Structure formats: structure tokens, C-alpha cells
Structure 1
């Protein structure tokens, strides 16, 4: 360990280059060399923490970026061989503070950067690894809660560090806060470095117990024995029976008997008195209250290469061998999987193992019955995407099905390829893939009246990022290779409109001589601008043609193979007005995955109303980090209680919009603490935890919201 600086009676004191730090405070009592204060003030005399460490209080004043800078007395620090920077720190405020730590090298590009949220409480050791790292490198998207107890000492490890630095030439440490509105006080003490990555490893060590729960936290639904697990499930059974008796006024499929509409024998859509409805096969109004990923096998997590994270992991032998498996790897081309470590090999399914602990060999059959009881008791009337097919086949709750269009066909980058590049619908092989996918998806259920309809794909990259993101697919098409079918179709459209290359050049304001120039890979497609409105017009026409080709092919195949059921759209995340309008033309319902506090803040419903088409919110959720998993989901709230409040606001706002015909929550089960297989997501967004026990307060808020809608909360 190398001491970098020590707090004396009046200042943080920096170490001259190449000299070991003295540990006698008296040696440094009057020194202030190397400390710069910008909108930061020293406050009072030296204080001490519970271990006797001297601490100096600093007030970060209101400004854009108040900062304290520690520099060597001369030259630079030589930290070669060191693995982490350690700073004794205490948040002196009664709320969490955001602290930014920057370490500067000798060259401008040499820089390490981290941002941490320091909770209020006792002093702790803040550890910053001296290299880039993130929870993704450990196989998960969000790292463990901080601080944690490391042999009696509170340690806060910055699990996300960006940048790189030559440790032989370190010239400054900067501590700052982003734009405080009032003075915020920190107590700072010793600053030193340590070899190795022990603190970082300890941050992840032993964080999951034998049931898949986070070891360092407590919450009401957490269990500590198999007996407690079985007892909790037996108690819930009695509650479910009582809740099931509260539901009334519904037809066989969950439709509202008080609102009679057209009866066709199949789910369909109908507009009545200015409001869109889904309609049950029996002819009653149906507002779809759904939940996604209702499946027992969605909670697998990699254990290979990170066994140190798990405490008392069951042995890979009977009966636990059933819950182990091996996966090749995540799709490295997806943005969702970029930089994710622990991405292949042996995995374990804690959720299914817990079901076995409660129900023994018959666990899957019992789980399916209990799950359907729950959905009905809690007021859910739709089994959403990515769910166990067997649940729908039991004909207790209507269900949806996904259509996965995969194959060896071309693709186009829109610039936001989180789940992959856009399929090229102009490639003849795409039409063949659609035919195969639709045939496979519709064959088992095309005569089942309990099927609500089909989704095609999920969150396709219809748009890019940034202010010009709307045009990403058009620009990406022109940047593609000449062999791209989409690119050739776009060129053909431009030739038909302009006839001569010079006319296109003038309209777009580009130097352009010959049509063959468009065939160049990475063609520099211009961004739309006010001086050349034709660019936006042409891009818009192409985006609509692209969407028409996609939705037209899929819709035709679905209607050909299954004329009875609804095409529920493509679950838009990124979208463009052109893609949404095309979906309105070819789909029965426009589906949006909406991650916002209210539907109206995630979808331009005014524009959708003009299309006069029903809308389904096919994904939404609210997460917090007080039930085990570290992530808060896409839309976070402060705590578990606020999840229920947010759910009620969202669903009620959706139900009172005349175009919205349903909301589907994502997802049924919490994600694993150490991340799911596909991309390492590890958020608390479920109705039940990894032990299959419901989060009681949240579930009750959900149930009451649904009862209000079922029993008169909507009118035709």
C-alpha cells in the first residue's frame, strides 16, 4: 500500500514524488501544498471517525462544479503497480450526495472518471479502481449496493470507472459535485493507494445465497430456510382463495359483461361511442391487463467464472443437476450485450430450484396452477409476450404469442442497434423467413379462441439516436454496401423521382455526378436541413416504404395462415411517424413499449389519435432497489411502496385514453441478482421474487387498480 496523502489539522496534504508518505500527522500539520479549492471551503477543526481516523470537513458551495484538487508537491505521482485509490470519506448531509472523482494523467487523454452516490451515514473508505471497469465486466448491468461491510469497515467501491491512465504519471486527483443548489458538506481523510483489485473483488464476493437472494440486504419477503419458504407459500394460498372470490361481472374470457359489443367468436377490436375496445369472443368489452415473461425458465444466470459470487451454490448433481445448464454465449453483435463478461458456460436457475424446494418433483404443474390463480386473483386477464405456452393452453386466461422472424437475410443499421440491426424487408430471403416464422407460430393456435393475437419481433431499430435520429434508417440504408437490397430499392426510388443525378444533387445540396456514386459503401448521406427540405421529404418517403414493406409482408402472412386472430404490431420502442403510420395501416393494434411515468409522456398519443387505431402498451414497469436485485429498471422510483403508486397512476391514465386498449407489465419475476443470460439485466421489476413469493404491498396495489377498472373504471 502506498500513501498518497494524509489529512492534517488544516488541509489535505500531498506527497512529493517518489517519497513514502509519513504517517505522523504532526509532520504535516501546517502543510497545504498541493491542495486547490474551487468553490469549496474548509469548515472547522479536524474531526475523527469511529476508528480514530482524522477527517476534515469541506463545504462544496453552490456553483456549476465545485471541486477540490489534490496535486503532487512537484512533478507527478508514480503509481505503477498500484490497483486502487482509497479515500476516507463521510457524507455529512442527511441525504445522499453525488461525488465525482477524476484522476488526471500527464497527457490530456490520460484520465479516469467515476461518479458515486454517497449515502448519509458513518465514514467509509471510498475505493476507486485504477483502471476501467463496470458491473458489465462482471456479467451484470448494475453492481452491488454500496457501501458494504468488509471485515468491520464500511467500504464503498466505485464499480464503474471509465477511461485509462498511465500510472507512472499521475498529476491530479479531483473531487467535485455537479451543480449543488446549496452548500453540501463532506468529511475527507486519508488518501492512499493499494496494490491489486481485492476491494473490487470483495464488492462482488458472496453476494448471492443458496436461494438466489442478495446476501447483504433485508426485506419483508426474504427467507432464511427451506421451511420458511414452504410456510410462506402455504400462507399465500389462503390469501389467493379469498382474492379469487372478489372478482365478478366478467365473462369466460375476462370481458366486462356490462358492456356488450359485437360477438364474433374471436378476439377483435371495435370502436364504440368514440372509444376503442378489444372485444372477447363472447362479445364483451375487454381492457387487456397483461404481464410479460410469465415463465419458470426466465431466471437463469451464469455461474461459470464467477463462482466466488455465490454462497452455498447447490452441487451439480441430483436433484440440483436439473437446474444447471450450459449456454454458448450472448450475441456479441447486440448493443445490449456489449462489454458483458461471464457471458457463456454453465448457468444455474435459482427460481426453478426454489420451486422444487417447495413442491418437489411436481413443481412445474403446481407452479402453472398457482401462477394462473395469481393472475386471476390479482386482476390480470392476459398472458403477455415470452410466456410459458402451456399457460395459455390451459384456457383460464387469454394469451398472446410472439413471432420471431430469424434467418439469413440482409440488415440495415439505423445507428441504434441495441437488439441488432434492422431486417431488410426488400431482401427476398426476408419474405421466406416471414413465411417460415408465421407458419410455425400460427400452427398450434390458429383455431384457439383464447388467443388474443400475435406480436411480430420486438423493439426493432426503426430510428437512430440524437436529434437526427428519425432519419437513421434512411441514412444507414444509403451507407450500406451496393449489394444491399434495401439500398438498391432506395436508389431506384430516387432515380424514379429525379431522373437525373444533377437534380438530386441540387435538391440535396451535395456534389454528385453519377448514379453509381450512390453505390459506394459508407456513402456520405446528408442530414436533413432547412436549406434543403427535399432531403427530409425523400427520407420520409423511404422510411414509409421501408415500414410498408416490413409490415405488409408480415400482415399478409398472418392473415393468410390465421384469419381469426389479431396482429398486435411490433412493440415499438424507437419509432418514427412513418413506421407508426404504416403499422396503423397493416396491423390491427399498434403496440408500444413505453418506459415513462405516464403513457402520454412516452407516446405521442395526439398523433396516434389521428390514425384512429387502437393502442396497446405492450411493456412498462417501475423498479426500485430495495428487494435484492441492484437495478431499478428503466423507470425507477425510490422504494417498493412507490412502485404500487406509480403502477396505479400509469394504468389509470392508460385506461382513460380512448385509444388505449390495454397495458402489459414487464415482467412477472424479478431478474437474477447476478443478471439474466441474454444481457445481464438484474433489476427488481417483478411481482414475485426469485423465491416465487409475491411482493405483498406492490401486488395489493396492482390488484386494487385492476378491480377499479373491472368494476366500472371504464365506460364506453
Structure 2
């Protein structure tokens, strides 16, 4: 205590110096450098050396706390008496600095007297001190209409703020009794430097999402090479890129008109795309009979770059005023839905703006579709791609042709089942007669204008159907079966499941014995909410029955689609279901009824995403229908499903993935997701805002990335196994 009292007025000025100045709206309760008895500090598996302060690189004095290796080392702050009333404030505030050379994830828990609590995980980067703000209400970026929040820390009004943008739970802000700071399972001692602790007004929180997007749709929070600052720069770079594209087009390797690899050992030409296996290697074959590895890009379209502005106009620095030329790119939409993809989302309806179309108009004087198609096609071919993946613009007409795919959109009033992973909606009930009608309608309409088109690679059977729930536990693996049994018998799938069990066990006593349950009557299984037991070694029949139902379910689903396609478009391939989450039963059924298995594999290498030994047993060609590598250092705030540290790592990651795919005998193609970056402020569909594209929102390609992508694509023939000679008539390929 005597040592504390000797802190001089000069030292106090240092504590509140320019780098650590308390804002006018900040209420300071406690300072770790000069602690007072009004706040009690408790430690669990952590060390706070008494009165050991240190000066950081900016001249600010802070105090070190070290979290020791343990399950959850914790520092707790509580009022010496009563509780804290923060009801007039917006956030908890804490001056802190990461004392390590790497990022730390800090777990912050704020609890009120009634036991309610808020929880937030905050990434604290290595570097200078900053002020951590944890909002006193639950919040998330999706509530602001976007998947990922702007980067933190962030400088505002001369200070560095680290705002927790994801907070869960609820709280009585009038009676705060405890704040806890902890690390989860550190493997070695980790240290933070701490200063002022208290509460803060809502002003910095409100500013987090304000003035976020510039006139070109770019983030205002960062700069990067090639960031657009003027219309003149847009035009200059567009002209320069066009020269580069024309030069690259002249260097394209010899191919047939469909992009097939011309070889001395061609296949039989059928006039349409097909598959063939030779000596264990699967190939796609062009209509002219040449091997074809599908190098595709998803979402090659100018129509997915709109972002909502209604209700969040302050997010945008400069939007066109009514009557101005660029005001032509406003529109209206409503993206609200019950899907998990939109759960908790704010700003999902109203007026939108299309920065991508506006930037094309700035660059070329127009934003018409024919000009866009010509530009996109030339780019794709110059970069070594040969296929339009899912969700792409329709057929490139006239001379502008490139092999393309179609995703069947099966919609109707048929029953669906929520497996617990209904990101895009429930799983269609294939036993509902209305499902077969919806399939017939979708296939007939879709195939009508494409059945004789040799450029069509094939049809995808929907996208990312939720065959299971997330996780590897039995509840997730068999989620669709369990969910079916919980429904009423009005649902056709439940009636099918119950019939399977009745046919096998005859009576409820037989089922009770096989499943290890006490079922007093069959009718009890018909009631909603019936909970089947988990699989166990003691009662193996449980798992066998679940698996049998799932296989019947998937068989019916894929057979319904395959039969309809065989009738309406017999010359074209059925490219599988674009699996994201799957079960062995669904994959096996897909292999039986589809020409190709397709997977959306968001992994570093293809074989990290699925067991290819299992796929080898199924002996069907595999198409990777989606993959990508994103980062957060070029505008949009989400790094994608597979994130790399920086832009310069995306190209090598692409090349490694493609080489691994080409060297896998089952894989016949890989489709990048996607052509364009998503809007930094969130796309209309679900608020995704990832830096995933080959091309920025400004219509400028990411130059370093596309150069590396092109190099990898042109290297593909060196990685592929050249097709052997065709077998003699009357002999198998194995012979």
C-alpha cells in the first residue's frame, strides 16, 4: 500500500498518456497499475505479481497477468460491495495488450446478480495496447446483415479499439456482480498486460459498422495493393487487364472445341459428355471423344453482388442519389426465410444496391449482360478454366460457348424433415408423392432447352441436402432417422420407417427385445415425439435398422431424380448431390443412381474431406463441386470455409489442392467457389461476405492470385494420368 501511494503525479500522467487516454464516455472503476480496494481481484491458475508494472513500446504503463497451463486459468473482478450498475453504458471496457508474439483468444464472461451472463471469445492480436469493449447485449455480425464483422482492432477517434463483435447470452446490466477473463487450455504460460477497467458508452459500438463501405463497395478499414481510389484508375486497369487476357488467350494449349485434352489415345465420340474408366482411372469424355478434366468456377454470374442498404444507410460512405446515373443499380428484394442460413439475420429485405454493376458501368460505360458474358468467358479461358460450375449464368450463346452445368432446383409443397442441419431447408421426403411430382416438373422444365445441347456437362441433383447433422456422434450420424421417428404418421417417411420395423419384427415385443426398450404397443411409436434409443454394442439391431431406413430414403430420393432425368434428358450426366454433410447410405445410393459423385470439399486437400478408400469401393467418378481458399486482408471480412492467413497464400493453396485432385484416379474435376468476391456488407441470400473470388467487387481480378491459378491450371496435363489405349473389341480394360 505504501508503494502504491508513492506513485507520483507525473506517473499518473503517463498512465493517462496519449496512447492510453481514457475517453470522455469511459467510466473507470479500477486500474491494474494502481489498484484500489473497491474492486476485488481473484486468480485461479493465474499470476498477477504484486505491484509489478511495466512500460510498453508506446510508453504506456500496464501490469502483467500470466495465465498458467491449466484447463481454464481465470482472473475475476468483483465489486467489494454490492454490484455495478452499467445500465446507462453500452459495454464493459478494459485496456489491455497481448504480451505474446502470437494471437490469444480471451474468454470474457460478465455475470449479473440474477445468474444471467454474457459470453464472448475475443481474438487479441499481438501488437500495441488497445481498449477492449464487450457489449452488454448479445450481438453478432449476422444481426448487422453480414456473416463476418469488420477487422479488429480498429482505430477510431485516435484510439485503438478491440470490439467483441460476437456476444451470446443475456444480462441485467443494472446489477453486474462479476467479470471473468480466462484462456481455454493454454499449453504454456501466456501473458496479457492490463490497465484501466470499467464501462463505456455506446458511441464506439455504434461506430463499428458506420462508414464501412466506400463508393466502390470496398472496405474502408484497410488498404491493399490495387485498391480502387478513382474512376480513372478503374478504366486504366480495365484496359491493361484486357491486353493481358488477349495475350494469354493466344497461349492456350491445343484442345478440342469443348476443352478436351487432345491425345494419341482418344475415346469413342458419342456427341455428348460421358464418363469412362480405363485401368482404374476415371475420365470425363468430351462429345468429340477426348479426355476432359473439368476445371470449373461456381457462380459465374453478375447477379449475386447486390447488398441491402435499407435500415443501414450509415454503413455506406457514398451511395448514389436519386436521378444520378449510378442510381440505376438500386433494386428491391426480400430474403427472409426460416432456413438456418438466415437465423438471427438482420437487414434481409428492402432496397439493395449493386456495387459490382456500378463499377462495370464506371469502367466500360455500360453494364449490359452480353458484354459481361464476353469478358467473363475470355477471362475463364485465359486463366485455364473450361467449365461453368453451379449457380452460373445461363448458356453462353452464339460463339461464346463453354461446357456448363445445371443445378436442379426441386421446389414444391412436399413434406420435409429437419435433420438438425437444415442450412438450406429440410430434407425432401421422397416418399411423399408430391416430391416425385416436383422432381418431374423441375426436370422437365430445366431439360426442355438443354436436352440436345452437347455443351451441357450434366445436371446436379440439388445442393447440400442435410443428410446428417453436424458432428460425429450417433445423434448426428442418424439425425434424419431420429427426426423421422419423432414426427407424426402424417409424414410419409415415418409411415415407411414404421412399416419396415413392422415387417421385420411383426410385433412390439420383438422390437422391444431387439432395441432393448419397453414398448407397450406399436401405437406408441406413431405418436409425435417418439425417441428411439442410441445404437449400442448390446443391441446391434438398432443401428442396422437406422441404416436400412436411411438407405431406403436415399435410394428413393436419387432414383426418383435419375428416372425423371433418364426420361427427359437421357444423353446427359447426373452429377450427384453436391454433398456437404453426408451419410454412407446417401453416398452409396448416389453412386448407384448417378453417373458421378459430387462433393463440396472445404479442406486443404481432397482426401482430407472424405475417405477415398470407401469411394474406391463404390467405383464411381468424383467431381469436387466446390472448394476455395479465402483470406481477410483484401476487403470482404470473411475468410471463407477454408481460410489462409493472407492473400499471397491463396494461390499456392489452390495449386496444391488441384495437383492432389488430378493425381487421384477417381477425381474427374474440381470447381472453385466462386468467380466474384461476395459484397463486404453481405450478399442478399444469407449475408455471406467472403473474400473468395477470382475477381473483386470492382471487377478487377486479384492479379497475383489469378496468375498462380492460371499457372496451376496449365500444369494440369503434367499431373493427370494419360489415358491408355482403348481395349480391343471383346476385351475388358482390365484384360
Work out whether the TM-score is over 0.5: yes
Unpaired runs of 5+ in structure 1?
1-5, 13-19
Please state whether the residue corresponding to 2:307 is helix, strand or coil: strand
| Equivalent residues, number | 701
Is residue 91 from structure 1 mapped to residue 109 from structure 2 by the alignment?
A: no
Residue 204 (structure 1) aligned with residue 209 (structure 2): yes
Match of 1:628 among 632, 635, 645: 635
2:669 is the counterpart of 1:658: no
1:328 aligns with 2:307: no
Which residue among 435, 440, 460 is the counterpart of 1:435?
A: 440
The list of structure 1 runs, each at least 4 consecutive aligned residues, that deviate by more than 4 angstroms after superposition, is 8-12, 20-33, 47-54, 392-395
Which residue number corresponds to residue 16 of structure 1?
Answer: none
User: Does the CA-based 8 Å contact 1:140-1:680 persist in structure 2?
Assistant: yes
In 2, Cα distance between the equivalents of 1:393 and 1:482? 53
Given candidates 379, 387, 392, the residue that maps to 1:374 is 379
Matches within 5 A, 1:673-692: 673-692=680-699
1:36 corresponds to: 42
What are the equivalent positions in structure 2 for 1:520-535 lying under 5 Å apart?
A: 520-535=527-542
Is 1:543 the counterpart of 2:550? The answer is yes
Query: Offset of 1:711 from its aligned partner?
Result: 5.1
Q: 1:667 to 1:588 in 2, by over 3 A?
A: same
Indicate if the aligned counterparts of 1:293 and 1:667 stay in contact, CA closer than 8 A. yes
Residue matched to 1:444: 449
**Superposition deviation, residue 131 in structure 1:** 1.1
Is 1:473 aligned to residue 447 of structure 2? no
Match of 1:710 among 705, 717, 726: 717
CA contact (8 A) 1:392 1:399 kept: no
TM-score, normalization by structure 1? 0.94
**One of 154, 164, 170 as aligned partner of 1:164:** 170
Match of 1:672 in 2: 679
2:417 corresponding residue in structure 1: 412
Shift of 1:326: 1.0
Counterpart position of 1:185: 191
| CA distance 1:32–1:634, change in 2 (3 Å) | same
Instruction: Give the Cα–Cα distance (whole angstroms) in 1 for the partners of residues 32 and 160 of structure 2.
Output: 27
The answer for the alignment partner of 1:290 in structure 2 is 296
Contact 1:316/1:324 (<8 A) preserved: no
CA deviation map 1:409-458 (0-9, x unaligned): 11112121111110111111111101110011111111110110001210
Correspondence 1:594-609 to 2 at 5 A: 594-609=601-616
SS, match of residue 365 in structure 1: helix
1:392·1:398 contact (CA, 8 Å) conserved in 2?
A: no
1:564 aligned residue: 571
Matched residue SS, 1:256: coil
1: CA distance, partners of 2:398 / 2:533: 52
Query: Who is 1:504 aligned against?
Result: 511
Mapped pair 1:239 → 2:239: no
Structure 2: gaps spanning 5 or more residues:
16-25, 724-735
Question: For 1:173, which of 179, 203, 219 is the aligned residue?
Answer: 179
1:338 and 2:343 are equivalent in the alignment = yes
Q: Which of 256, 266, 274 matches 1:251?
A: 256
Change in Cα spacing, 1:39 to 1:498, as seen in structure 2 (3 Å) is closer
2:370 equivalent to 1:365:
yes
Following the alignment from structure 2 to structure 1, what is the Cα–Cα distance between the partners of residues 261 and 507?
Answer: 61
Matched residue, 2:233: 228
Distance 1:111 1:362, change over 3 A: closer
**Equivalent position of 2:224 in the other structure:** 219
- Structure 2 equivalent of residue 101 of structure 1: 108
1:572 to partner: Cα distance = 0.6
Partners in 2 of 1:324 and 1:23 — Cα distance? 48
385-394 or 64-73: bigger deviation: 385-394
The question of whether the paired residues in 2 share the 8 Å contact of 1:64 and 1:178 is answered with yes
CA distance in structure 2 between the aligned counterparts of 1:438 and 1:574, rounded to whole angstroms: 24
Partner SS state of residue 308, structure 1: helix
Q: Secondary structure at the match of 2:262?
A: strand
Q: Paired residue for 2:493, among 463, 469, 486?
A: 486
Aligned in 2, Cα 1:128/1:712: closer, same or farther, shift over 3 Å? closer
Instruction: Work out the CA distance in 1 between the residues paired with 2:27 and 2:381.
Output: 67
Secondary structure at the counterpart of residue 205 of structure 1? coil
Structure-2 change in CA distance of 1:375 and 1:36 (3 Å): same
State how far apart, in whole Å, the 2-side matches of 1:188 and 1:596 are.
38
Alpha-carbon distance, 1:188 to partner: 1.1
Give me the whole-angstrom Cα distance separating, in 2, the residues matched to 1:661 and 1:222: 37
SS in 2 for 1:86: strand
The separation in 1 between residues aligned to 2:257 and 2:31, in whole angstroms, is 79
Counterparts of 2:507 and 2:99, CA distance in 1: 70
